[in-house]
Structure 1
Amino acid sequence: MGTEDQEEENRTYPIHIGNTTIRFDDPVQTAETIMIEAGTDEDKTDQKWLYALEGKNMPKDTQFEGSDTVDLSNENRKFFRIVPKGSGRS
């Protein structure tokens, strides 16, 4: 096993939601899993949106529903916000 393989094997994907940092071993997660790990009740994830905060140079934040997959290896998938559906944010 080469050094590159070991780095990939030991890599974690940290994300930030509010003041909480969560680390995942697998870069591909569902939005529902991320919301649950951040403290959202399992039965409430269908009432919320997960937003990837893209930063000021990007056109707009990316919105995810519970069943959507999120690739945490994407450089713009580090900061998130969980918002109730119907809150006027889009």
Structure 2
Amino acid sequence: MKKNRGQDVEVYFFGPGVELVGKPSDKVKEALTMLRNAEVYGGYCPFNAQQFDVESAVSGEGLHGEPAGEALVRLIEEGYQVVGY
């Protein structure tokens, strides 16, 4: 979306998604590299990172820690369309 349409995109990881980033498979590593290369910024829930004991690994991916509720409100207020999987 960012590359093809010039739209601003942000990815936010919460719940089990934080563990996927903290203990990534090769496919997840590849996806994170693609996001960085495309300058797509993202965040994660620090509480989930603590819960899954992956705080240092997740923050090392260049993501910012922001509680899920705060991130959701911020993204909506900034006009993002929130899509969840």
TM-score, structure 2 as length reference? 0.25
Q: Which has the higher helix share?
A: 2
Q: Which has the higher strand share?
A: 1
TM-score, structure 1 as length reference? 0.24
